[in-house]
Chain A
Amino acid sequence: MPLLWLGLLLAATLGMEQLEGVLRLIEPDSREVIYRRDTFLALLVQHVMVVLVASLLAVAIGVGAAIAVTRPAGRDFRPLVGQLASIGQTFPPVAVLALAVPVLGFGTLPIIMALLLYGLLPIVRNTLAGIEGIDPAVHEAARGMGMTGVQVLRQVELPLAAPVILAGIRTSVTINIATAAIGATVGASNLGDPIISGIVNGNTAYVVQGAVLIGLLAISVDSLFERFMPRLAPR
């Protein structure tokens, strides 16, 4: 399944020219129906890079924070982290962009920032749920047998929470693939470009091209998760 979607994505990225006839039907009056300011391949790579960097950061920070506040030493910060992550989600990404641009300037940095904040909640929430959902008896046994804190974390908590954590990462990444498109408004060139430019110039064909590619990318990544998650998760 993932191969099929990836194949479709690549075909659409490289072969958009071939669809000129179809796209012409949508926009019979425009002079140009294929977006040409950048190759679609370059836009796709940009898009993937932005999402990848933001997601890796979100995973590192989100999982790290959730682990930290479930240790005895960090327990006091548990409510705070839960709230911060929720706020990250309720804050509209556009607002994050608006606030980030004056500080970080135009380009890729503000959008990474926005995606990071936006993608944090599902990861933090799921990591907390995964770790806190472990049967207390298992936890008691692990400590009672003489495992150290690190051993409990690595051999018991993380493996048992892994399916839930991965589900959170999957949600986070999929949302961010779609959200990254708004980065085009602050000059980060990615698959959002054709969409924004299409809206500005009233060219629906551009919008369709961007939307189709983003959709295919999201589905491909999601099916990759689908394919490989059960292997990582025991039982």
Chain B
Amino acid sequence: MIELFDVTKRFGDEIAVNDISLRVEKGELCALVGTSGCGKSTTLRMINRLIEHSEGEIHLDGQPVRTFNEQLLRRRIGYVIQSTGLFPHWTVARNIGLVPRLLKWPRTRIRERVAELMGLLGLPPAEFAAKYPHQLSGGQAQRVGVARALAADPEILLMDEPFGALDPITRESLQHELRDLQARLHKTIVFVTHDMDEALALADRLVVMHRGRIVQQGRPIELLREPVDNFVASLLGGVERGLKEAGLTRVSERMLPLGPRLLARERVAQTAPLRDALSMMLWHRVDRLTVVDDDDIPIGELSLRRLVGGRPE
């Protein structure tokens, strides 16, 4: 659990982070969003003490971070930095094994762990283990950065735009990995991103920052439905908020049981977001879809009217 109580950071006269309070429960993924320069990275760095906070308190599992030994604290916290920061003179495998080596794990255990992570992040060891960072694409380097942060299996992960330089497909698959990982391992994660869809898809708690302050925090759907001001509303997508909300709602929440009518030809999975269902209707020019379960068996139907939240006809 990470807690920030009235934390402020000043660089000289400039206030980078202004009196923020935040609580991230164990197993929660908290996404920080906001315009460039609003203090997101500074907030992360204060948690692992790369930057010392000027005022307030930061606690990990109830203990002030200032009471920890700096190095031991950081070895317990996985950190993915905005611009990867891989060591150019070390191979991929050695980069990933950095923290386990600092923790003096036995050699064979480090090697196994590195291979395991490389597999997890889609970097086949045979191909990538011996490469140097300058031989990687931007996206591959970012994955190595994520693997390095995960290496010692830390309870807490701080991720500063970890998927920034990835193509949409790799990005989505890594988001999936992260969500699975999160579901299985219950890490406590603070995640910075500029991509609102990413934030909405991953976050349990969404925190919007503006000029060093937290302007709103809560569950993504709450922020979408009730933004406190125009800034939050426009950051969350402005006129597209309807679609974003549809992206967070599952088909199963709006479908009706199968009626007496003929089954509609087009099918949609009950676990799909409403946004996908809407897209299918637009694409196929229909106003009714058959909802199927995981085994492709029809279990209900969804009309356009229900989809947009209207009463059944």
Are A144's CB and B81's CB within 8 A? Answer: yes
Binds B, one of A32-40, A133-141, A219-227: A133-141
* Chain A 154-175: CB-based contact to B (< 8 A → 1; otherwise 0): 0010011000000000000000
Complex formed: what's the CA distance from A145 to B88 in Å? 15
Q: Within 8 Å of chain B (Cβ to Cβ): is A148?
A: yes
Q: Tally chain B residues at the interface, Cβ within 8 Å.
A: 26
Q: Within 8 Å of chain A (Cβ to Cβ): is B79?
A: yes
Are B86's CB and A234's CB within 8 A? Answer: no
> In the assembled complex, how far is the CB of residue B60 from the closest CB belonging to chain A, in whole angstroms?
14
Measured between beta carbons, the chain A residues less than 8 angstroms from B18 are none
Complex formed: what's the CA distance from A148 to B89 in Å? 18
Measured between beta carbons, the chain A residues less than 8 angstroms from B181 are none
Are B87's CB and A146's CB within 8 A? Answer: no
Binds A, one of B23-31, B69-77, B203-211, B227-235: B69-77
Are B86's CB and A145's CB within 8 A? Answer: no
Are B102's CB and A144's CB within 8 A? Answer: no
With A140-B81, A235-B132 already in contact, the answer to whether A147 and B89 are too (CB < 8 A) is no
Q: Within 8 Å of chain B (Cβ to Cβ): is A89?
A: no
In chain B, what residue has the closest Cβ to A151? Answer: B102
Are A146's CB and B85's CB within 8 A? Answer: no
Q: Within 8 Å of chain B (Cβ to Cβ): is A142?
A: yes
Within 8 A of B (CB), among A90-115: none
Within 8 A of A (CB), among B199-254: none
Tell me which of A139, A140, A156 has the highest count of chain B C-beta atoms within 10 A of its own C-beta.
Answer: A140
Complex formed: what's the CA distance from A162 to B88 in Å? 13
Q: Within 8 Å of chain B (Cβ to Cβ): is A143?
A: yes
* Chain B 14-56: CB-based contact to A (< 8 A → 1; otherwise 0): 0000000000000000000000000000000100101000000
Q: Within 8 Å of chain A (Cβ to Cβ): is B114?
A: no
Are A146's CB and B75's CB within 8 A? Answer: yes
Are A148's CB and B79's CB within 8 A? Answer: no
Measured between beta carbons, the chain A residues less than 8 angstroms from B45 are 144
With A145-B75, A146-B71 already in contact, the answer to whether A160 and B89 are too (CB < 8 A) is yes
Q: Within 8 Å of chain A (Cβ to Cβ): is B148?
A: yes
With A144-B50, A147-B102 already in contact, the answer to whether A135 and B89 are too (CB < 8 A) is no
Within 8 A of A (CB), among B59-73: 70-73
Complex formed: what's the CA distance from A234 to B79 in Å? 26
Please pick, from A141, A148, A151, A234, the residue contacting B85 in the complex, using a CB distance under 8 A.
Answer: A141
In chain B, what residue has the closest Cβ to A162? Answer: B89
Are B50's CB and A143's CB within 8 A? Answer: yes
> In the assembled complex, how far is the CB of residue A137 from the closest CB belonging to chain B, in whole angstroms?
4
Complex formed: what's the CA distance from A140 to B74 in Å? 12
Are B84's CB and A145's CB within 8 A? Answer: no
Q: Within 8 Å of chain A (Cβ to Cβ): is B98?
A: yes
> In the assembled complex, how far is the CB of residue A151 from the closest CB belonging to chain B, in whole angstroms?
7
With A137-B81, A151-B102, A235-B132 already in contact, the answer to whether A142 and B73 are too (CB < 8 A) is no
Measured between beta carbons, the chain A residues less than 8 angstroms from B271 are none
Are B87's CB and A142's CB within 8 A? Answer: yes
Are A146's CB and B88's CB within 8 A? Answer: no
Are B99's CB and A146's CB within 8 A? Answer: yes
With A160-B88, A235-B88 already in contact, the answer to whether A146 and B50 are too (CB < 8 A) is no
With A144-B79, A145-B79, A145-B148 already in contact, the answer to whether A159 and B89 are too (CB < 8 A) is yes
Q: Within 8 Å of chain A (Cβ to Cβ): is B83?
A: yes
Complex formed: what's the CA distance from A139 to B81 in Å? 11
Within 8 A of A (CB), among B66-117: 70-75, 79, 81-89, 98-99, 102
Complex formed: what's the CA distance from A226 to B82 in Å? 38
Are A137's CB and B85's CB within 8 A? Answer: yes
Are B85's CB and A135's CB within 8 A? Answer: yes
Complex formed: what's the CA distance from A180 to B49 in Å? 51
Supplied contacts A141-B86, A145-B102, A160-B88, 14 more A-B pairs, CB within 8 Å = A137-B82, A137-B84, A138-B86, A138-B87, A143-B50, A145-B99, A146-B71, A146-B73, A146-B99, A146-B102, A147-B71, A151-B102, A234-B89, A235-B134
Closest 7 CB pairs of A and B: A141-B85, A146-B74, A146-B75, A137-B85, A144-B79, A137-B83, A234-B89
14 A–B contacts from the bound complex (CB under 8 Å):
A135-B83, A137-B81, A137-B83, A137-B85, A138-B85, A139-B85, A140-B81, A141-B86, A141-B145, A143-B50, A145-B75, A145-B79, A146-B72, A235-B134
Task: List residues of chain A with CB under 8 Å of any chain B CB.
Answer: 135, 137-148, 151, 156, 159-160, 234-235
